[in-house]
């Protein structure tokens, strides 16, 4: 979006209010941060940290930089959410953290400008209104970003929603002419960079500032979302407790072998054939959890004393090294009690424990954040206020993409989608163990291709895997001018899956 000043021949964009040298340096830093990370979202994460912790920035420069960052994230999000074939939980975290940083920078901007009702204070208020309006407009551009922004606001006590309502209020709209008048008389440094000032200078309408929109379609979508979530909750309450005779159990000898293979932050999966929910959840696996590790393992990693482990230390020392999300909420479990099942698998994020300590601790911090949430009966990956067992993984492990399914118009990720990723081309995950049991408590460690076949994948000669799928055609044949015979012909095919 460009505004051209006829007399001054100045071009101002919603993304560039810094001087040319400062702007160039800013985007060089963004480019470097993206190029050295695994994805665009890692670049955004690194860039936000760089801005937040840069003590050389003035209040206005920090506010401007965080505004630019948050606006760019919104633009990225609109495109990402409209075309995604996978989901990345880091995006949700970045929306919350970026807006939270913008609100803090806004408070600092106004505080640093308090000199009575000075030109500097008036200009700071104009900056705040115009930047917040442009951010609001960008995040309101699509229903998906609107939903995520509102959901992430609930994560910080509706802080984002309250801030937007305050800054883009009717009272602030009425105040704009007064602020412009002060700026015109005092001419504080940087006043020509204000978008509102330049629109006023060009005699353009200012009605688009301090303006909130109401989206009726969102209300209808919310009614549908709440109703389907309520139905799902009621259904889960009925079928969840239903189980019959004891399922097969993995014996103690095999349990020790499994434990010996487990490492902190492994993702673990269960299949229980004696539970009704196991037949209703699509796919082979019915549930997943996270292995936090033992005290000894975490001491060996050198992170046992870290503050991020504080919420888990007492649990882990008591043997509760598994964190999971059940329909009644988050829970901690002991391995020897949790392992009562027909089949077990453990999957590891490749190279996770070889990363810098701060990356590992960030996962523990994210897991702790999930521990205080309720179960997401809406099964919506864009809602982080409530989570499912697989959404815990999706939100906690940082910059990784996870495959999704579309259910009732919303993206979902289930245990089977998480586990399937090990068969994708260039997967970031690896299978550590797949164990099946029988009624005699015997257990067998199975090869990866056995699990692949159970989950609908075929092993290729080069060791890779292709997903099986069917293509069907319908043949119509007319007989004796009175009847029609319809035949459905299906051909099984296979293809590589990419994340």
Query: pLDDT tens digits for 137-157?
Result: 999 999 899 999 999 999 999
Task: Report the C-alpha gap between 464 and 403 in whole angstroms.
Answer: 18
Percent of the chain with pLDDT over 70: 80
Q: What is the percentage of the chain residues whose pLDDT exceeds 90? A: 64
Predicted confidence (pLDDT) at residue 282 exceeds the cutoff of 80: no
pLDDT-based confidence at 70, cuts 50/70/90? very high
Reported as a single tens digit per residue, the pLDDT across 31-45 is: 434 433 357 899 999
* Better pLDDT: 245 or 155: 155
**Closest listed residue to residue 77, CA positions, set 497, 382, 400:** 382
Under 8 Å between Cβ of 78 and 141: yes
pLDDT for the residue 440:
63
- Name the pLDDT band for 20 (thresholds 50, 70, 90): very low
Sign of the CA dihedral running 136, 137, 143, 144: negative
- For residue 14, what pLDDT band results from cuts at 50, 70 and 90? very low
The rounded mean pLDDT for the chain is 84
Give residue 135's pLDDT band: very low, low, confident or very high (50, 70, 90). Answer: very high
Give pLDDT, residue 272. Answer: 81
Lowest-confidence segment of 110-114, 204-208, 358-362, 420-424 by average pLDDT: 110-114
- Rounded Cα distance between 394 and 381, Å, is 8
How many CB atoms within 10 Å of residue 230? 12
Instruction: Give the Cα separation of 209 and 211 in Å (integer).
Output: 5
pTM equals 0.83
CB count within 10 Å of CB 158 equals 12
pLDDT score of 37: 38
- The predicted pLDDT at position 475 comes to 75
- 348, 394, 362: which is closest to 46 by C-alpha? 362
Q: Six-digit token pair at 497?
A: 């899956």
Q: How confident is the model at residue 90 (pLDDT cuts 50, 70, 90)?
A: very high
pLDDT digits (tens, 9 = 90+) for 373-397: 999 888 889 999 999 999 999 999 9
- Name the residue with higher pLDDT: 228 or 31: 228
| pLDDT (average), residues 328-334 | 93
Alpha carbons 249 and 343: distance in angstroms, whole number: 9
Q: What is the rounded average pLDDT of the residues 242-268?
A: 80
Phi first, then psi, for residue 269 (nearest 5°) are -130, 150
What would the mean pLDDT of 95-107 be, rounded to a whole number? 97
Contacts for 466-473: CB closer than 8 Å, 24+ residues apart: 466/494, 466/495, 466/496, 466/497, 467/423, 467/494, 467/495, 467/496, 467/497, 468/492, 468/493, 468/494, 469/493, 469/494, 469/495
Of the pLDDT bands very low, low, confident and very high (cuts 50, 70, 90), residue 328 is confident
């Amino acid at each position: 979006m460009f505004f051209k000043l006829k007399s001054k021949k100045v071009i101002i964009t919603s993304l560039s209010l810094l001087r040319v040298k400062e702007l160039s340096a800013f985007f060089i830093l963004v480019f470097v941060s993206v190029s050295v990370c695994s994805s665009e979202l890692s670049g955004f994460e690194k860039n936000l940290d760089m801005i937040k912790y840069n003590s050389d920035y003035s209040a206005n420069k920090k506010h401007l930089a965080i505004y630019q960052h948050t606006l760019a994230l919104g633009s990225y999000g609109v495109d990402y959410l409209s075309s995604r074939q996978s989901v990345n939980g880091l995006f949700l975290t970045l929306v919350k953290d970026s807006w939270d940083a913008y609100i803090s920078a806004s408070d600092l901007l106004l505080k640093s400008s308090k000199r009575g009702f000075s030109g500097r204070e008036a200009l700071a208020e104009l900056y705040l209104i115009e930047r917040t309006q442009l951010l609001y407009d960008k995040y309101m551009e699509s229903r998906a970003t609107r939903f995520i922004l509102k959901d992430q606001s609930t994560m910080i006590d509706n802080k984002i929603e309250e801030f937007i309502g305050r800054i883009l209020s009717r009272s602030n709209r009425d105040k704009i002419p007064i602020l412009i008048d002060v700026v015109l008389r005092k001419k504080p440094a940087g006043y020509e960079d204000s978008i509102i000032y330049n629109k006023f200078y060009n005699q353009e309408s200012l009605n688009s500032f301090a303006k909130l929109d109401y989206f009726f379609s969102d209300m209808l979508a919310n009614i549908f979302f709440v109703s389907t979530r309520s139905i799902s909750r009621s259904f889960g309450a009925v079928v969840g407790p239903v189980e019959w005779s004891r399922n097969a159990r993995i014996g103690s000898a095999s349990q020790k072998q499994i434990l010996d293979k487990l490492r902190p932050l492994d993702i673990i999966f269960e299949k229980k054939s004696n539970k009704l929910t196991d037949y209703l959840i699509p796919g082979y696996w019915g549930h997943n959890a996270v292995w936090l590790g033992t005290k000894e393992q975490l001491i060996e990693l050198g992170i046992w004393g870290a503050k991020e482990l504080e919420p888990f230390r007492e649990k882990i020392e008591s043997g509760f090294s598994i964190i999971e999300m059940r329909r009644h909420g988050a829970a901690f479990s002991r391995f020897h009690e949790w392992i009562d099942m027909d089949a077990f698998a453990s999957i590891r994020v490749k190279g996770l424990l070889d990363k810098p300590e701060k990356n590992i601790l960030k996962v523990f911090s994210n897991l702790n954040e999930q521990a205080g949430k309720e179960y997401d009966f809406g099964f919506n990956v864009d809602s982080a206020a409530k989570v499912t067992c697989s959404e815990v993984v999706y939100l906690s492990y940082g910059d990784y993409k996870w495959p999704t399914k579309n259910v009732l118009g919303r993206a979902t990720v289930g245990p089977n989608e998480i586990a399937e990723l090990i068969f994708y081309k260039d997967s970031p995950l690896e299978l550590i163990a797949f164990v099946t049991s029988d009624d005699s408590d015997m257990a067998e460690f199975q090869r990866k291709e056995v699990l692949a076949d159970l989950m609908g994948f075929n092993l290729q000669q080069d060791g890779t895997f292709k997903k099986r799928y069917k293509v069907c055609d319908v043949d119509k044949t007319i007989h004796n001018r009175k009847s029609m015979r319809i035949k459905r012909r299906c051909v099984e095919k296979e293809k590589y899956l990419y994340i």
